[in-house]
Amino acid sequence: MQNLNEEHKESSHNTFLKGYDIKLDNSDIKVEELPWWKVDQTDGYEQVKEENLFKDDTLRKIKINLRQNRKVRLGERPLKCGQCEKTFSSKGNLESHTRIHTGERPYKCNQCDKAFSHKSTLKSHMRIHTGEKPYKCNQCDKAFSENSSLKGHMRIHTGEKPYKCNQCDKFFSLNSTWRAHMRIHTGERPYQCNQCEKAFSQTFSLQTHMLTHTGKRPYTCSQCDKAFSFESNLKAHMVTHTGERPYKCSQCDKTFSCKLYLKNHINIHTAERPYQCSQCDKAFLYHYHLKIHMRIHTGERPYKCSQCDKTFPQKSTLTTHLRDHTGKRPYECSQCDKAFSRESRLKGHMRTHTGERPYQCNQCFKNFSLNSHLKRHMNIHNVTGERPYMCSHCGKTFTCKRYLETHTHIHTRNKSYACSQLPV
């Protein structure tokens, strides 16, 4: 009699499980409906060990999953959130959603102090500690800790970009990238620093900013004294020493050492500059560039040299200036033994080897290797006779800043310069 009951129970289980794919993962059970052409090929019952199937708890979970699948299939969402207008097909989904409003994070990581509102999110997070990357790309050797990351990565191979910006013509392969881009248009900056008043449009930008408070820069350049917060930044910097420029623009012949520089350059061809200055007609590719530009109007120079009284509108300009005091010259010419404190000076110097003269005078069509040389030359064509550079010691005026600097040496008792040799 017992065998007959067990046979009947097994038969009834086979009937209601037919056409479903069942996955057992420790205490978790996932039931997915199979497509119609696989219903006769796969029997869900056969995928579950008999001793597990007939446990009441296991059977109950499978039935809940089946009911949930039916509601999703029929589009039933009878449960409504009391805080917003969203509806759900199951009590579990509603409870998970409610934590957005309550802020509850019951699932805690036992490796660090992070907590999560969903068990599945904790599960994904744990792979950071274990290093597990179960989702492998079948086109290349990359692997991912989350299935969603693999799906996004696959679009690199397929070229699919399903997310379109309704403000401009840009398309994106990832929903997260599209959302971050939309903040360019809305100006939204939801990620606030808890140490200062700064806010950011992307969580990565906030994480990068937080390092300014901690001061951590673990990645140091072996060629110069620069240190970086991220390994990717160090890799991009190393190219300044090797001269490698692997990223080429498809619109013109320009090449770049960093993918980001190429991305910025591409906007020259698209002419997209969403950040407009309210004081003049200039527009910029990035909010940060607009912020730096605004200091021209405000006169703000927040970065002060600790060796002299000079101040600068940008931190990078201060860093470059400090090399004048230290004497460091990290940018070496690959053609001769000269070295320079600034990358721009190395670029200008390289033209002495290549013979390149990209700066042309629009009055007489002479060409120059440096923009500063062109500016100095333009004084020859100065028909107004303007001499804007005045010596603070004797009142003499000059057409060029360099002539003034040379003249100033007379007053500082540097006798190697003769005032009579200067064009006045």
144 in Cβ contact with 135 (< 8 Å)? yes
In 42-84, where do the E strands start and end? 79-80
How does DSSP classify residue 34? P
Q: Where residue 96 falls among pLDDT bands split at 50, 70, 90?
A: confident
Q: Where residue 12 falls among pLDDT bands split at 50, 70, 90?
A: very low
Q: What is the pLDDT of residue 418?
A: 44
What distances in angstroms separate CA 54 from CA 31, 48, 61, one per listed residue?
16, 10, 12
pTM of this prediction? 0.37
Greater pLDDT, 16 or 348: 348
Packing angle of the helix pair 2-17, 56-74 (nearest 10 deg): 30
Say how far apart CA 266 and CA 252 lie, in whole Å: 10
Say how far apart CA 424 and CA 422 lie, in whole Å: 6
How does DSSP classify residue 188? -
Q: What is the mean pLDDT of residues 115-133?
A: 87
CA angle 133, 137, 141 (to 5 degrees): 80
Q: What is the mean pLDDT of residues 326-350?
A: 88
Q: What is the mean pLDDT of residues 117-128?
A: 86
Is 50 exceeded by the pLDDT of residue 421? no
294 in Cβ contact with 279 (< 8 Å)? yes
Say how far apart CA 114 and CA 101 lie, in whole Å: 19
Of 53-62, 187-196, 231-240, 397-406, the range with the lowest mean pLDDT is 53-62
212 in Cβ contact with 199 (< 8 Å)? no
**350 backbone φψ class: left, alpha, beta (φ>0; ψ -120 to 50):** alpha
Q: What is the pLDDT of residue 270?
A: 74
Say how far apart CA 128 and CA 134 lie, in whole Å: 12
Q: What is the pLDDT of residue 76?
A: 63
- Tell how strand 219-220 and strand 283-284 pair up: unpaired
Greater pLDDT, 420 or 248: 248
Say how far apart CA 232 and CA 213 lie, in whole Å: 20
CA angle 128, 132, 137 (to 5 degrees): 115
Of 67-81, 158-172, 268-282, 340-354, the range with the lowest mean pLDDT is 67-81
User: Is the torsion defined by CA of 364, 365, 370, 371 positive or negative?
Assistant: positive
Phi, psi of 227 (to 5 degrees): -130, 150
Q: Where residue 137 falls among pLDDT bands split at 50, 70, 90?
A: very high
Instruction: Kindly state the helix (H) or strand (E) to which residue 343 belongs, with its residue range.
Output: helix 343-354
% of residues, the chain, pLDDT over 70 = 77
297 in Cβ contact with 282 (< 8 Å)? no
Q: What is the pLDDT of residue 102?
A: 85
Of 61-75, 103-117, 120-134, 180-194, the range with the lowest mean pLDDT is 61-75
pLDDT in tens, 24-64: 454 455 545 444 333 344 444 344 444 444 445 555 665 55
Say how far apart CA 212 and CA 200 lie, in whole Å: 14
171 closest CA partner among 163, 180, 183: 163
How does DSSP classify residue 180? H
pLDDT in tens, 105-118: 888 999 888 888 88
422 closest CA partner among 413, 414, 410: 410
Indicate the SS3 state at residue 60: helix
Is 70 exceeded by the pLDDT of residue 397? yes
Residues in the chain: 424
Largest CA-CA distance found in the chain, in angstroms, rounded: 124
pLDDT in tens, 153-186: 898 899 898 888 888 878 888 888 888 888 888 8
Greater pLDDT, 8 or 376: 376
R_g of the chain computed on alpha carbons = 33
133 closest CA partner among 113, 153, 114: 153
**385 backbone φψ class: left, alpha, beta (φ>0; ψ -120 to 50):** left
Q: What is the mean pLDDT of residues 318-344?
A: 88
Tokens of 99: 């934590």
Mean pLDDT score across all residues of the chain: 77
Of 71-85, 114-128, 349-363, the range with the lowest mean pLDDT is 71-85
CA angle 28, 29, 31 (to 5 degrees): 155
